Amino acid sequence: MKSAPANPASGILFVDKPQGITSHDVVARARKAVGTRKVGHAGTLDPMATGLLILGVNAATRLLTYIVGLDKEYTATIRLGSASTTDDAEGELLAEAPPRGLADVTDVAISAGAVQFTGTILQRPSSVSAIKVDGKRAYALAREGAPVELAPRSVTVSAFEVLAVRRHEWIDVDVRVECSSGTYIRALARDLGELLGVGGHLTALRRTRIGPFRVDAAVGLDEPLGERMLAPASVAASLYPRLDLTAPEATDLAHGKRIALPGSGVRAAIAPDGRLVGLVEAVDGRAVVLANFPPDPATTPPPESTTGDQT
């Protein structure tokens, strides 16, 4: 791979993560491709999962804070007929349901079960999640053989749609899920299997959307990542209303001054040259800076691009 120049411009990368590698592996590849160690991501995907992983480069990592908590959309396959120790295909399978038990699980029952996990629900996270227990990740404790029982937490599942049901030795159910940040699709698979009395676990997972950003706009890891970064201003303007600044206003905001800003809500403040100056919130007629984005030293900002459909 050709070396990227040092100190590249700040930007956002939408990557379509392949199966079999960690989110940290993707970050490592991006660091090498764009020539900087300052790369972070918004929302981990398990090695088994594929799909949209959003990376921030250099100063644009500050924007990740405003992306990580956005709602998500996934497509997944739930296998009914056996639970697993990890609630997915990477764990050890537990007792299998008898063929008669599977035969009694109708398509109508599967769809009705999914409805029961729609809306605001209390969900018990998987024991192999990244949640910390007494300072250690739950998955690390589980691998050590320690008992892990995580407290249920409130999540919102806006849609739990059954797309297809395929019957063979097992019952494979293809689903589409829209949910709040922090929802575990593995836990939905486990709980649906428990509800139907046959056990269940996840065999495939793909993240198709984060907030307004869709995986259709993502690039593969084999593409020249340094050339595919999106301008922070373009991404921020997909999250918040755009506030076009005059040159003096851009200078004042950069120096910490509160410029006049009527109305309410968060805005993406953008300089006349197209650079993201900051995220600001209108408070009592003035702009309060939530996050500032200093200009990149001796670099050309990445071009503005369409980053995804608004929802």
Reported as a single tens digit per residue, the pLDDT across 121-147 is: 999 887 666 565 555 655 555 555 555
Domain containing 279 — which CATH number?
Answer: 2.30.130.10
Helix (H, G, I), strand (E, B) or coil at 137: strand
Question: What pLDDT, on a 0 to 100 scale, did the predictor assign at position 300?
Answer: 45
Helix and strand counts by DSSP (H, E) for the chain: 7, 17
Residue 307 lies in a domain: no
User: What is the per-residue pLDDT across 133-186, written as a single tens digit (0 to 9) for each?
Assistant: 555 655 555 555 555 677 789 999 999 999 999 999 999 999 999 999 999 999
Tally of domains in the chain: 3
Q: Would you state the pLDDT for residue 308?
A: 39
Give a yes or no: residue 4 inside a domain: no
pTM score, whole prediction: 0.87
The total of other beta-carbon atoms located within 10 Å of residue 200's CB is 28
On whether residue 301 sits in a domain, the answer given is no
Question: Do 84 and 170 belong to one domain?
Answer: yes
Same domain, 61 and 176: no
Task: Give the chain's end-to-end CA distance (angstroms, integer).
Answer: 37
Active-site position among 46, 87, 88, 191: 46
Return the sign of the alpha-carbon dihedral for residues 86, 92, 95, 98.
positive
Report the chain's mean pLDDT, rounded to a whole number.
88
For residue 55, give the amino acid letter. Answer: L
Query: Has residue 308 been placed in a domain?
Result: no
51-77: pLDDT as tens digits: 999 999 999 999 999 999 999 999 999
Give residue 111's domain range. 72-210
My answer on whether 144 and 99 are in the same domain is yes
**Average pLDDT over every residue of 238-253:** 95
Asked if 258 contacts 283 with a C-beta cutoff of 8 angstroms, the reply is no
Q: Is 46 a catalytic residue?
A: yes
pLDDT at 145: 54
